[in-house]
Copies of this chain bind each other. A is one copy, B any other.
Amino acid sequence: MNRTPISKLGEFGLIRHLTQDLKNRQPSTCYGVGDDAAVLNHEGKRTLVTTDLLLEGIHFNLEYVPLRHLGYKAVAVNVSDICAMNGKATQITVGLGISSRFAIEDIEEFYAGVRAACEHYKIDLVGGDTCASMNGLMIAITCIGEAEEKDIVYRNGAKVNDLICVTGNLGSAYLGLQLLERELQVFRATQHDNLGKAEENNDAIHEKFEGREYLLERQLKPEARVDVIEALKKAGIKPTAMMDVSDGLSSELFHICSQSKVGCDIYEDKLPIDYQAAALAEEMNLNIVTCALNGGEDYELLFTCDIKDYEKLVPMDDVYIIGHVTETEYDSEHPEQPVNLRMIPRNGNPMPLTAQGWNAF
């Protein structure tokens, strides 16, 4: 592969190179890349804004994450946040801090993933910032979306007796990560100088992943559940509260229950789990329920619905009712105290859900 130093193009040349043939797809994009700011027009709708930082060594490991996948995922996880408001993502900006070990071709790979995601989600890349970094790759994405005011779903609207639903399945992305980490350890023991060569590394250990492709895809190329947002709209369902599952189900339930001032009961036997995930958990001696409750990065949707929507929910593809909202004694002076969050295991004795966020500090 060619390796062209970024200094050959310089900052402006690199930005031009990466953005010169961008096409805008959204009617709300009046002016995209190329000025001090992008110009948008959401014509009477509400504008939604969300932002995410992705840092090398914290959020991703380039030893096994290909740059193209990383670009795709960086966009997808932000689109997922807009979905979680019941909105429609329309634009993104991309900030990139790039250390000297990256060449132009690397950044092209990353941008190819960003563009593929923009195409898939029909959103426009309208701005950004590209600069050098001292150490590693840093990605800052801001996603803009739109929604009618009446359609927006917050975290704080869950009501007692509401149904609790989740899409897709849980724990697969976490198990995909465990698999990648395990094989990387094996690979490291036999190879040197493999940093940043995700493609070659992945080839070499490809056969170890046979039958587990789905778990890898869940970790490396998650999708925002735009399809579910559209299906809910079509079915005439407006959730009462919604989040995407990025930190893990327990953590997201904690946010919804804290903000809505309610508790919840969820049922172990209702948690949707993929068979590849269950098999790998068994092999790795991990508790699959713990993986489903606390594994992050599934980017599925967690939402609560009025019980009157039950008949509409049941026929929906890939939507699972896992429990219901309960009353709680909620102390607003101490929002950090766990509220009445419970899982009802198969044996029937309720157990409290431990609900703390991702703590990498």
Contact = CB atoms under 8 A, between A and B. Distances in A.
A57 B147 CA distance: 40
**How many copies of the polypeptide does the oligomer hold?**
2
A31 B51 CA distance: 15
A358 interface: yes
Interface in A48-100: 48-53, 55-59, 81-82, 84-85, 87, 91, 93, 95-98, 100
A42 B144 CA distance: 13
Contacts of A147: 39
Interface stretch (A10-18, A171-179, A196-204, A323-331): A10-18
Given A16-B335, A34-B259, A138-B138, 5 more contacts: A31-B152, A34-B155, A35-B85, A51-B95, A53-B138
Nearest to A102: B361
Nearest to A85: B37
Nearest to A139: B140
Contacts of A243: 36
B131 A55 contact: yes
Contacts of A87: 37
Interface of A: 5-7, 10-14, 16, 30-31, 34-44, 46-53, 55-59, 81-82, 84-85, 87, 91, 93, 95-98, 100, 126-129, 131-136, 138, 140, 142-145, 147, 149, 152, 154-156, 243-244, 259, 335-336, 356-361
Given A42-B42, A93-B49, A55 B356 contact: no
A30 B12 contact: no
A44 B46 contact: no
B37 A81 contact: yes
A134 B136 contact: yes
Contact of A140 (B46, B95, B127, B336): B95
A52 B37 CA distance: 11
A42 B47 contact: yes
A107 to B, nearest CB: 10
Nearest to A50: B37
A110 to B, nearest CB: 15
Contact of A12 (B11, B59, B97, B336): B336
Nearest to A91: B49
A51 B140 CA distance: 9
A82 B206 CA distance: 48
